[in-house]
Amino acid sequence: MKITVILCTYNRCRNLAKALDSLAGQVVPESTEWEGIVVDNNSSDQTREVIADFVREYPGRFRYLFESQQGHSHARNAGVREATGDVLAFMDDDTTVAPTWLQHLTASLHNGEWAGAGGRILPEWTCSCPRWLRLDSRQASAPLALFDLGPKDGELKESPFGANMAFRKAMFARYGGFRTDLGRQPDSLMSSEESEFGARLLAGGERFRYEPSAVVYHPVSETRVQKEYFLKWWFHKGRSHIRISGISLGTKWCFGGVPLYSFRRLARWTVTWLLAVEESRRFSCKLNVWVQLGEICECYHQYVSAKTTKKKGYNA
């Protein structure tokens, strides 16, 4: 069987060279055939030149693919369409992979037992962790793209993180690709495209494997560990949640398309935030406020869009 590694990139040429260098150094059995597709998502820096250097240095190993339609999901879907492998592995353009990453991540996917696999994403700190951030919480690990369930392998009951995941290509033919209304955009931190895809597979009865020996390192710099970034990330996470799950079934009372329970949650978390004393607890509550604000904004946006569409239908 053949493996395709898909790496999508946008205006990160410096990080990209380091990521590709780690990918080129993979140690795999001689019988393993693999390729790397680097999807340039309309970059305006020296991304194309960086990829061209690796294509020349490793002929037959790397391929360049340009995707002009902006968005991480568009880029990933383009890579899936062009992939020739039976197993598709994904990494990010700002990560580095351990030498045995590819072998360990995909080893269990060469039969029909597992639909996908995920490994550990460990931090590569270039700054100190601020006091307001609790690293043992999902609120910290998700925006920093960190994932670590410990050293024991086994079944994974959730979707793997996008910086370290692999699926059998047949899963995309069966369940479709990544939703393009989700996923990172240059002007948006919208997320959850890989978790939504994974949820579709789990709902279909597919199974995932956790491979702790498949290790990816993700840089954590001072520019990323900022309150503003976390607030923006969780605001867009709230928007993503509404796009995926919608409003709770049975909801009758809404104002401007927003269910009343969303306003109650917003009020509760706002009061908890204002009354909290301990710094990390206070910021955690504030993040919950921003999640609720994101959900409310997305509900209202969908409400306005639906009314506009309906009005156009009447006038047609």
Rounded to the nearest 10°, the torsion over CA 108, 91, 82, 59 is -100
In the listed set 220, 238, 264, which residue is the last one of a domain according to the structure? 220
Structural domain boundaries enclosing 242: 227-315
| pLDDT tens digits for range 277-302 | 999 999 999 999 999 999 999 999 99
Which CATH number belongs to the domain containing residue 188 in this structure?
Answer: 3.90.550.10
**Quick one: pLDDT at residue 311?**
73
Local confidence band at 316 (pLDDT 50, 70, 90 cut-offs): low
Question: Regarding predicted confidence, which is higher, 248 or 45?
Answer: 45
Co-location of 95 and 240 in the same domain: no
Co-location of 267 and 150 in the same domain: no
| pLDDT tens digits for range 98-148 | 999 999 999 999 888 999 999 999 999 999 999 999 888 889 999 999 999
Co-location of 176 and 211 in the same domain: yes
Co-location of 39 and 68 in the same domain: yes
What phi and psi, each to the nearest 5 degrees, are found at residue 221?
-105, 170
| pLDDT tens digits for range 162-209 | 999 999 999 999 999 999 999 998 888 998 999 999 999 999 999 999
Co-location of 186 and 235 in the same domain: no
pLDDT at 315 over 70: no
In the listed set 174, 192, 220, which residue is the last one of a domain according to the structure? 220
Contact 265/285 with Cβ under 8 angstroms?
no
Co-location of 68 and 142 in the same domain: yes
Co-location of 192 and 253 in the same domain: no
Distance CA 159, CA 74 (A): 19
Co-location of 270 and 196 in the same domain: no
Co-location of 155 and 256 in the same domain: no
Co-location of 206 and 260 in the same domain: no
**Quick one: pLDDT at residue 289?**
98
Domain count along the chain: 2
Co-location of 91 and 180 in the same domain: yes
CB atoms within 10 A of CB 207: 14
How far from the centroid of its chain's Cα atoms is residue 214's Cα? 17
In the listed set 174, 194, 220, which residue is the last one of a domain according to the structure? 220
| pLDDT tens digits for range 240-268 | 999 999 887 667 788 989 999 999 999 99
CB atoms within 10 A of CB 255: 13
Q: Is the pTM of this model over 0.85?
A: yes
Co-location of 174 and 203 in the same domain: yes
**Quick one: pLDDT at residue 308?**
83
